[in-house]
Structure 1
């Protein structure tokens, strides 16, 4: 594509300072006339590029030229580099090379100021993530085994649309071929992911369907907890500071809103005897019932 070639020409000139049209033509496997047309396009875009004749002549940029003088503000440059640094977290192909090139173009030495990593401590789902990413880019159907929040297993074939990061968790937005409807899947529950040879086209009304599906899948429950000071480390790690109130005895009252599912009840129970549900009452009753059911499993040992 011409835009890629234009970018590469500017990068080469910043790196090598001067080069001939013939050398550029050989590098990009195009004609010298095409290179001259590219130079005209760059000039019209405001890039201070010029050609000199004679021995040692060729195509070059004005001394001390950097891209920010013609196209982007300093703030825009920093935002672009920060966004690309974020792409490192999802292992986007060749992003390191792009960052290095733009760092040179923008004349930035300290562009590597952020390091983002969404993978779990001690493990990685990189292969699964990359398979899905490749399938989305190439519009290929994927198949996988899925375990629901209720422990039910099923085999799925879907048209992957978008990877979605929400509240420390990766999801896949897709069109499920077996259910003939849009679905959202949690990546950690997807096993044996395979990219098939079947291609697909983007479906109409996709965004509207996903908004409706998201509202359906993520109905939330608002609750208030009393938490003992012994779990202070979790309080500060897992709740928004605006939702935390510390009592005189060091304990906490927190308010939160989470998707209403078995997960949220298991989450509350994960605090053990350090947590007490203040409200709503029906959530407190569900927790009490689960504790009673757990106690029954050990009744014969008491």
Structure 2
């Protein structure tokens, strides 16, 4: 604990001009006498700390000893700090925050950052996310039940290799002991997660690069047109960010989407259903028919 405090104090002093003993004592929840002993220990390690007298006095590190700010540009440092702060928010990662403090010692601008990153997903159990990351670091096997895209539930044990954040969702990638191959699992579909006491020694390489897709085998993209009432504008823009937009004179909105496969539109119909009577599919006619059939089937379940 003392060593961690000493290291943290060094970076605190590198990141500030002058810090008083009382400030450091409050920060680390120790007495000022302990801070004096820590300062002596840091000096004994060869780090040149200077004592400043007066009302605004305290301790600081001589300027010549601090890291050369020209090693990284302000854009580089700011980008790294943004990413690490976003990661530490999700994982409560003290090591990441220590790295942030190191980078802040060479940050040339202390004003409002031009970019912030919040990757925390409040719909997800962050405790499970942190458990998986801990298992990756400690090389412990993870067990869980998984609901796949076909709604089948299977029990899995994996050697977790990495966590990935893509398309606003978290995934864990690892070696599945049930399938004896590498698999990717969406965290929102994982239930009854448990980190087992068993460890693994296998070295997992970076995820292999997927081959270039054969575009000739892909179906022709289909154009879908959806109309939204004025009281659904904000939600429609949030859900369908990449669509072509047409704002109508009556305040309504018409969105045109290009989807990859017209035969697999269950996801789209589910999204449109979330708007209730505030949205209607205009094109193509066959999708309108499938959507109408789905609505009739839903009504039939209530009439039974």
Q: Same fold (TM over 0.5)?
A: yes
Q: Partner of 2:244 in structure 1?
A: 243
8 Å CA contact 2:87–2:119 kept in 1: the answer is no
Q: Partner of 1:286 in structure 2?
A: 290
8 Å CA contact 1:77–1:106 kept in 2: the answer is yes
Q: Partner of 1:183 in structure 2?
A: 183
Distance in 2 of aligned mates of 1:270 and 1:92 = 34
Secondary structure in structure 2 of the residue aligned to 1:89? helix
Secondary structure in structure 2 of the residue aligned to 1:290? helix
Q: 5+ unaligned residues in a row in structure 1: which ranges?
A: 28-34, 36-48, 52-59, 213-219
8 Å CA contact 1:158–1:176 kept in 2: the answer is yes
Distance in 1 of aligned mates of 2:71 and 2:293 = 63
Q: 5+ unaligned residues in a row in structure 2: which ranges?
A: 19-36, 50-59, 214-220
Q: Partner of 2:105 in structure 1?
A: 104
Q: How many residues align?
A: 258
Secondary structure in structure 1 of the residue aligned to 2:63? coil
Alignment match of 2:120 (pick from 111, 118, 121): 118
**1:131 offset after TM fit, Å?**
0.8
Q: Partner of 2:229 in structure 1?
A: 228
8 Å CA contact 1:145–1:191 kept in 2: the answer is yes
Q: 1:204 to 1:110 in 2, by over 3 A?
A: closer
Any residues of structure 2 matched to 1:79-158 within 5 Å, and which? 79-94=79-94, 95-106=96-107, 109-110=110-111, 114=116, 116-120=118-122, 125-158=125-158
8 Å CA contact 2:146–2:154 kept in 1: the answer is yes
1:170-207 CA-to-partner distances (Å, cap 9, x unmatched) read 22223322223333222122112112213143456832
8 Å CA contact 1:228–1:251 kept in 2: the answer is yes
Distance in 1 of aligned mates of 2:244 and 2:112 = 35
8 Å CA contact 1:88–1:116 kept in 2: the answer is no
**1:242 offset after TM fit, Å?**
5.7
Q: Partner of 1:168 in structure 2?
A: 168
**1:261 offset after TM fit, Å?**
6.2
Q: 1:269 to 1:242 in 2, by over 3 A?
A: closer
Q: 1:234 to 1:177 in 2, by over 3 A?
A: same
**1:144 offset after TM fit, Å?**
0.4
Distance in 2 of aligned mates of 1:129 and 1:236 = 29
Secondary structure in structure 2 of the residue aligned to 1:118? coil
**1:234 offset after TM fit, Å?**
0.7
Q: Partner of 2:267 in structure 1?
A: 263
Distance in 1 of aligned mates of 2:287 and 2:184 = 25
